[in-house]
Structure 1
Amino acid sequence: MTSNAIRGIRRKKSTLSEVKVAVVGAPAVGKSALTVRFLTRRYIGEYDHQSETRYKHEILVDGEPVLFEILDTCSKADDDLPSADTLNWADGFLLVYAITDRCSFNFVRRVKQALCGDTPIALVGNKGDMVHLRQVSTEEGEILAKDYECWFGEVAASEQVTQVADAFLELCREVLNVRRKNKQSLLDRMLGNKNSGLRVYSRGKSDSALPKD
């Protein structure tokens, strides 16, 4: 391999954005099905989900390489909220409920209350193919997403690929957007502090009295 090729790989690695996503929801809402559908495009309906699982996956988002680190959390009960470690670890949260389960909808509302106000989230109503068992209306999901100012979509992990991927990609975009804003805000504050210490000299009428070189 030539030195130019090696430098090219190093440049690519240095520009690779890393985004940590926690997939959170009540038991049996399809968190693992959504995650695996996004990672592999395959659907697996049954999971022996006894503990949380972490995946890494590199993908292009709007033409830029992004390394996803996805934490598929494992809630054991409807009151089993994510740990403080999970809340602090993730850059963004995919909050998942099942449209067939009212309790799971209430679960994601409790999770949101535990998050910082500016934490990027995406809201997903899974099992959209089971409308005959619906307990949570689309309008309720839309209203909650409007309240949270986040992306929302109803999907069916068992049938859809693109729609599931959209949820992860939209959350990634929001994480990167917040990151850029925070970086710009920090830069503005640093420049503002530097500029506040500068004494600006303006030439006035009395300048003619200054000694000449």
Structure 2
Amino acid sequence: MTTRGIRRKKSSLSEVKIAVVGAPGVGKSALIVRFISKRYIGEYDHQGESRAKHEAMIDNEPVMFEILDTCPKDKDDFPNASDLIQWADGLLLVYSITDRHSFNYIRKVKSDFSSDLPVVLCANKVDMVHLRQVSTEEGEILAKDFECKFSEVSAAEHVGQVAEVFHDLCKDILSSKRKSKQSILERVERILGGGTKPYSRGKSDSALPKD
């Protein structure tokens, strides 16, 4: 059996781990499924958090996404910040424009995180604009507070826009990883450069007494 194109070895894939965080009912699972399969499923029977893997092309390079679908039990159940920081490379924070509480939930989640993990803020259910409780301007202001990108999408109707949200976060993660790697290399170079200088023969060496 032949395959089109040449696939890279799995070990050479860039990998990103994304945690999707939001209050119950905002459409986290629907967004993930829309991104991975391009299909829309409206109802989910949640038993607990789940993970999914998906390979996509980002800037003509293959990237393996590992996506954690967090599953809070109720509106007052918040994820463990230290656990997410240890596992995730970036956070997709999701609220529903039809649910004011879900917007406040995201504020609380972000306040618990003291790390510099890349973040993207996503407002879902923009197709239900007649039930809107959170304005676009409020989302933009919150994203400015978080210093992150912001998008309003509909998991029910949008395919490209949903993919773009995940792609944007992936690009931020890869950029952050490159900067971190470069910083480590620079520190190593400074440490090595500050050690003993290599020996070089001087003019006076020839005048040393011989045995």
Q: TM-score, normalised by structure 2?
A: 0.88
For residue 103 of structure 2, what is the aligned residue in structure 1? 105
Deviation (angstroms), 1:88: 2.0
Name the amino acid aligned to 1:37: R
What's the counterpart of residue 192 of structure 1? 190
- The within-5 A match list for 1:50-69 is 50-69=47-66
CA RMSD of aligned residues (A): 2.3
* Percent of residue pairs bearing the same amino acid type: 60
Instruction: List structure 1 segments (4+ residues) > 3 angstroms apart after TM superposition.
Output: 198-202, 207-213
Gaps of 5+ in 2: none
Question: Structure 2: how far apart are the matches of 1:155 and 1:115?
Answer: 25
Aligned residue number for residue 43 of structure 1:
40
Asked if the contact 2:85/2:115 (under 8 Å) is kept, the reply is no
What is the CA deviation profile of residues 38-89 of structure 1, one whole-angstrom value per residue up to 9, with x for unaligned ones?
0100001111122111111111111111111111111111121112433421
Rounded Cα–Cα distance in structure 1 between residues aligned with 2:76 and 2:52:
25
Match of 1:17 in 2: 14
Rounded Cα–Cα distance in structure 2 between residues aligned with 1:22 and 1:40? 18
| Structure 1 runs not aligned, ≥5 long | 2-7
Aligned residue number for residue 147 of structure 1:
145
Letter of the 1:151 counterpart: K
Q: What CA deviation, in whole Å up to 9, does each residue of 1:163-184 have, x standing for no partner?
A: 0001111111111111100000
| TM-score normalized with structure 1 length | 0.87
Deviates more, 1:31-40 or 1:141-150: 141-150
Cα shift at 1:193 = 1.0
User: Which of residues 75, 83, 86 in structure 2 aligns to 1:85?
Assistant: 83
Q: CA 1:212–1:48 in 2, change beyond 3 Å: closer, same or farther?
A: same
